[in-house]
Amino acid sequence: MVRSTNSRRPATLASLAAELGVSRTTVSNAYNRPDQLSPELRKRVLDTARRLGYPGPDPVARSLRTRKAGAVGLLLTENLSYAFRDPAAVGFLEGLALACEDADHGLLLIPANPEHEDVASVHSAGVDGFVVYSVPDDDPHLAAVMERPVPTVICDQPSLPEIDRVGIDDGAAIKELARHLIELGHRKIGVVCMRLARTRNDGPASPERQANAGFHVQRARLTALSEAFAEVGVDWEQVPVIERFDHTTESGGSAAARLMELDPEITAIICTSDILALGALTEVRRQGRRVPQDITITGFDGIDDAERVELTTVRQPVLEKGRAAGRLLLDASESTGKPREVLLDTQLITGSTAGSPRSVEERWFGP
């Protein structure tokens, strides 16, 4: 189709000001500082702009002039769909969005595939600051964020001494759960954990891999479990730990199957997330074992689906994590010039999926 040579060119700020007989500042204020104009004058400016086809001030030019983008960047080293699929991520995203709303800021999602190192999306993001959500110590996207001269807040991991952080005491939280299982009598356990490094591993995680995990949240949880069970004489090197790179219920199910194959006599499967635990729960029941009579299942996070099945887990305040991270980033009045840390409380939820282990006689000859 040939464009008509008689089509009118869109109005500019200057031509709109001339049409109205006002200054260009007045037109700009109608969009950017409406409190500077009377309601009647602002309405006249906007009505005339619509009539003449003026699209409003160029946001790119405005950001160059003010050096403010009006948006917060959320870096999560997952595919974009993860932010809307994973319940804990969804809760965190909601909390961060609420904080952005309170400060009249937008929110830009900057997904980064964990198996790729292209950091161009970080370099090109037009944001006033970054919230980094749970990335490994050696993540290249985090390194790219640190190169930007804008404020940054990290949620969960990693823990950097010079950067504001929001999180929980992961070790203390899971140690409380471990001691609950110990009090119930469990000594033969298996563990299903989330990814420990950027390198894919879908199988047993050696003690060395656990100790050198790049994701310090997982490292802290595994270390705390080993310490708690060592107190009652359990040799951690004999405890099977199955790692899964993808955080899905299917991963949790396959990991549980592997654990029971490695040691059919385990009495409890401890999962470092509810998503993995829900998959483990399904697989254990699929194999004809009863929960908790034959095997105990526990998780970590406290998501809604875990509550519905009465999973024994640790509940963490994911929405408040997001809100706290946003507030730290956007409320400069609270800054003291020193790195700040917000540690939120957790709660042990003793559901119906944990019970005392059956004796050998009950296991093989009981009902």
Task: Say how many C-beta atoms besides its own lie within 10 A of residue 184's C-beta.
Answer: 17
Specify if 34 maps to a domain. no
pLDDT at 67: 53
In a domain, 36, yes or no: no
- Please check whether residue 37 lies inside any domain of the structure: no
86 and 216, same structural domain?
A: no
Q: Is the same domain home to 106 and 188?
A: no
Please tell me the total count of domains within the chain. Answer: 2
pLDDT per residue of the chain (367 residues) written in tens, 0 to 9: 333 333 445 678 888 889 889 998 888 888 777 788 898 998 898 888 888 877 666 554 554 444 567 899 999 877 778 878 899 999 999 999 999 999 989 999 987 777 777 788 888 788 889 999 999 988 889 988 988 888 999 999 998 888 999 999 999 999 999 999 999 999 999 999 999 998 899 999 999 999 999 999 999 999 999 999 999 999 999 999 999 999 999 999 999 999 999 999 999 999 999 999 999 999 999 999 999 999 999 999 999 999 999 999 999 999 999 999 999 999 865 666 788 999 999 999 999 999 999 864 454 444 4
Residue 5 lies in a domain: no
Residues 119 and 236 in one domain: no
User: Is residue 160 domain-shared with residue 296, that is, in the same domain?
Assistant: no
Distance CA 195, CA 272 (A): 10
Distance from C-alpha of 280 to C-alpha of 353, rounded to nearest angstrom: 11
Report pLDDT for 336: 64
Question: Could you check whether the bond before residue 34 is cis, i.e. omega within 30 degrees of 0?
Answer: no
51 in any annotated domain: no
Q: In this structure, are 289 and 329 located in the same domain?
A: no
Find where tokens 């309405």 sit. Answer: 43
What pLDDT, on the 0 to 100 scale, is given for residue 156? 95
Asked if residue 4 is part of any domain, the answer here is no
Strand partners, 349: 313
Tokens of 62: 């405005």
pLDDT, residue 4, reads 34
- Contacts of 218-221 with CB under 8 Å at 24 or more apart are 218/193, 218/194, 218/272, 220/170, 220/171, 221/170, 221/171, 221/174, 221/193, 221/272, 221/300
CA distance 267 to 189: 6
- CB 221, CB 193: distance < 8 Å: yes
pTM of the shown model: 0.80
Is 155 in the same domain as 260?
A: no
pLDDT at position 360, please? 44
Identify whether residues 79 and 137 lie together within a single domain: yes
Question: In terms of domains, do 352 and 236 share one?
Answer: yes
**Is residue 46 included in any domain, yes or no?**
no
Domain of residue 294: give its range.
168-314+346-363
Q: Are residues 155 and 75 in the same domain?
A: yes
The predicted structure's pLDDT at residue 311: 98
262 contacts 334 by C-beta, under 8 angstroms? no
Residue 172 sits in the same domain as residue 272: yes
CATH number for the domain harbouring residue 162 = 3.40.50.2300
Same domain for 214 and 353? yes
pLDDT of residue 118: 75
Is residue 20 in a domain?
no
CB atoms < 10 A from the CB of 235, how many? 9
Residue among 245, 316, 250, 303 nearest 274 (CA):
303
Residues 247 and 355 in one domain: yes
Which class for 266: exposed (0-12), middle (13-18), buried (19 or more C-beta within 10 A)?
Answer: buried
Residue 333: what pLDDT? 55
